Amino acid sequence: MPTVGFKIGRDSSALLSSSCNEPIIALSGIPTRSCGWDDFASDFARHWGGAPFLE
């Protein structure tokens, strides 16, 4: 699956910043939306201490 990674620096000035405490890495995959994708994304994020942002 094609994936793009972004390093996002610490940003304590934004009210809803996902990186208010420390820098983060965001992975943006290009899903096929096949059966089970949402479960996979949730499990992957939880395993690495993150939270999925599902559209």
Tell me the domain boundaries of the chain.
Answer: 3-47
**Residue 37 pLDDT more than 80?**
no
Under the banding of pLDDT at 50, 70 and 90, the label for residue 53 is low
**Residue 55 pLDDT more than 60?**
no
CB 52 within 8 A of CB 42: yes
**Residue 52 pLDDT more than 70?**
no
| CB neighbour burial string for 20-34, b if at least 16 within 10 angstroms, e if fewer | eeeebeeeeeeeeee
